[in-house]
Amino acid sequence: MRLKCLLLAAAFFTPALAVAESSQTQKDFITYLVKSGREPKVKDATWMTDSNLYAGVFDDRSRRDGFADYIRSVAGDHGVSPELAKIIDIVKLVRTGKFVEIGKSVCK
């Protein structure tokens, strides 16, 4: 009986724990950021979750919180609303594989 309950609980909660794939609108926004030429500071970007957007830029040793706010605003103009926009150092990501945050904006 206990095994049945565990299996039932696992089957019930598995979909809730799965990471959602990016929507077409989210993919289109990434294409806009990286390939349109309108956001030249952004060298690469990805949706880490369905609500967390990471954008990689070159680190000029200044905080990029304002730029993260701007990216969230532009995302809204394109029909997506990230709860978190994180700006990361693209050079450190390529060299070390680590996401080093240099700016962040959280929906309040």
User: Which CATH number do you get for residue 60?
Assistant: 3.30.300
Placement of tokens 């967390």 in the chain: 52
Handedness of CA 38, 99, 81, 19 (dihedral sign): positive
The parent domain of residue 24 ranges over 20-106
pTM for this one?
A: 0.79
Asked whether residue 8 is domain-assigned, the answer is no
Number of domains in the chain: 1
Asked whether residue 14 is domain-assigned, the answer is no
Identify the pLDDT of residue 20: 54
* Separation of alpha carbons 108 and 41, rounded Å: 25
Q: Could you list the pLDDT tens digit for every one of the 108 residues in the chain? A: 444 433 343 443 333 333 457 899 999 999 999 999 999 999 999 999 999 999 999 999 999 999 999 999 999 999 999 999 999 999 999 999 999 999 999 987
